[in-house]
Amino acid sequence: MDARIYGVETEFGLIHRPAADQQHPGRGLPPDELARYLFRPVVEFGRSSNIFIPNGSRLYLDVGSHPEYATAECADLIDLIASDRAGERIMHHLATAAEHRIATDGFTGQVYVLKNNVDSAGNSYGSHENYLIPRTTHFRRLSGILLPFLITRQIIAGAGRVVPADEETQAHFAFSQRADHMWEGISSATTRSRPIINTRDEPHADAATHRRLHVIVGDSNMSSTTSLLRYGSTDLVLRMIEAGVPVGDFELENPIAAIRQISHDLTGQARVRIRGGGEMTAVQIQRGLLERVQRFVAAQGAHHERVEQILELWDRTLTAVETEDHSLIDTEIDWAIKKRLVDEVAAQRGLSLGHHRLLQLDMAYHDVHPERGLFHLLRRRGRAQEILTEQQVQDALTVPPPTRAAVRGEFLSTARVFGAETTVDWVHHKLIERPLEAVMVKDPFADRDERIEALLDKLGDRTALRELDYQERSRRGVSPALTDKYVTADPDQLPEPPVI
Ligand SMILES: Nc1ncnc2c1ncn2[C@@H]1O[C@H](COP(=O)(O)OP(=O)(O)OP(=O)(O)O)[C@@H](O)[C@H]1O
Ligand SMILES: [Mg+2]
């Protein structure tokens, strides 16, 4: 596919740390109660804990206590990364508001929203990728190539993890947060069995022509350069699969054993068995796929302006793993950015790798707080590269990308101006007062829909509204982004970043 729709869903970890000097020392709010505080503005805004907001994305609180943000449908990788970052901001704003409310209720402390994949109790939560693919893609061929790619992708896109010692292994640094929590290669369930690729068939598009590929294996990334490599490389591998070019045989004998083994061997030299016979290392599998992608791009041409950057970073990351010279990538790839920090702090303080301060440091890397979070601190110090501008992030909070998300954004914000209630999902748009006129938009690339325009025209005169762009609308409070409306104040003072 020349153009593709992407979306990423992120589940966040939540922690409440009470202030030391109060009646309930030691214990924070239980996670479910904390999640309810966090989502109170969401429920007030949308009368549900499952809502779509004007930037086209979805905020969702399931029965558990891990709030989720699913980006709008994006046709451009930078839009995708910006929408994902906007989700972090929204969660941060909600956390700020929750902190105030919790304090008002007499329970002062700090709320942490973590964009990671394991909590201290060992529970795992996900970062799910969605790729629109043609229905004609042969599924057996797809999984034969994509599974070994995804299983080894952690060496180029893992978020890194300080692994504490247990009975069998010493404390060490691993590529991935999520690898130890995958249980199956392919399946149609997401929570119980945790497959790498989920086959549940919900295309949110014309089911006759398309599928939505649901990839469950990735780590949540903080770094935008790592995100670019993660989604960009996956798209390129998918393009090769879709084009039907021969890709070689990398199919693994035991995907689940392999994904764990690879995660815990930072040299990239752990050997995994290939189904067709013999053994290969993660670096060899990635190199094999990269070479084929390079040939494919040389023959077909680049299909967007970031392809060259993706291929260069992919190649350099593999070299960094092979040579163990992580300085080649330690401002661009999450696991290496984090490892550099962990190594430095360990050396400065004389801490051994399993020390609880270093486990905390690992968590603090994923704190979405723009000042307190360690990734963001490193970014400000030039130790993590950034491809998004602040303006792009700000825009992504309110402006939907030019896909079907723009139709949804227009629908939601206009209805709000006229005080009309709606129900929407990725495909459906309904005005509660006109249920029989609900509109289905099956094409995720469509950024305008005449039926929706006609429906909205029935609400009243939209001339003045049309003249305002999204920024202007939100400035005038016409289309309140959730965040603008509910963030009352920034924290009184910036919190101290932990440890460093
Ligand atoms: N046609 C499409 N192709 C690819 N991605 C899509 C398409 N339509 C929507 N998406 C993206 O898929 C994601 C759907 O997220 P959502 O969490 O609602 O789905 P889900 O994981 O299948 O459902 P749930 O979380 O309820 O189990 C979003 O990021 C969205 O942008
Ligand atoms: Mg989801």
- Nearest atom in ligand 1 to the alpha carbon of residue 203 is 1
Higher pLDDT, 469 or 215: 215
Residues in contact with ligand 1 by the CB-under-6-Å rule are 5, 7-9, 58, 70-73, 128, 130, 132, 202-205, 212, 426, 444
Residues, the chain: 500
Instruction: Output the six-digit token pair for 311.
Output: 């291929």
* Neighbouring-strand partners of residue 252: 274
- Which residues belong to the annotated binding site for ATP? 58, 71, 426
- Which residues belong to the annotated binding site for Mg(2+)? 9, 60, 68
* Neighbouring-strand partners of residue 214: 130, 198
> In the prediction, which pLDDT does 207 show?
94
Q: Give yes or no: 62 in active site.
A: yes
CA–CA separation, 420 and 460 (whole Å): 11
Q: What angle do CA 22, 17, 124 make, to 5 degrees?
A: 155
Of these residues, 2, 21, 32, 62, which one is catalytic? 62
| Least confident among 180-189, 301-310, 321-330, 430-439 | 180-189
pLDDT beyond 50 at 53: yes
* Neighbouring-strand partners of residue 127: 10
CA–CA separation, 159 and 375 (whole Å): 11
What distance lies between CA 170 and its chain's CA centroid?
30
Question: Which residue lies with its CA nearest to atom 22 of ligand 1?
Answer: 202
Question: What proportion of the chain, given as a percentage, has pLDDT over 70?
Answer: 91
**19-38: average pLDDT:** 79
Q: Which ligand is nearest to the CA of 427?
A: 1
- Nearest atom in ligand 1 to the alpha carbon of residue 131 is 4
Instruction: Output Rg (C-alpha) for the chain, integer angstroms.
Output: 23
Question: What proportion of the chain, given as a percentage, has pLDDT over 90?
Answer: 74
pLDDT band at 491 (very low <50, low <70, confident <90, very high): very low
Q: Measured in angstroms, how far is the CA atom of residue 9 from the centroid of ligand 2? A: 6
Question: Which residue lies with its CA nearest to atom 27 of ligand 1?
Answer: 190
Q: pLDDT tens-digit profile of 437-476? A: 999 999 999 999 999 999 999 999 888 777 776 666 655 5
Tokens 């964009």 — which residue?
115
Q: pLDDT tens-digit profile of 373-397? A: 999 999 999 999 999 999 999 999 9
**310-322: average pLDDT:** 98
CA–CA separation, 62 and 319 (whole Å): 41
Q: Measured in angstroms, how far is the CA atom of residue 352 from the centroid of ligand 2? A: 38
Minimal CA–CA distance to 55: which of 406, 492, 483, 464? 406
CA–CA separation, 282 and 257 (whole Å): 13
Question: Helix 334-349 and helix 356-365: axis angle, to 10°?
Answer: 150
CA–CA separation, 456 and 462 (whole Å): 8
Residue spans of the domains in the chain: they are: 138-213+221-365, 394-486
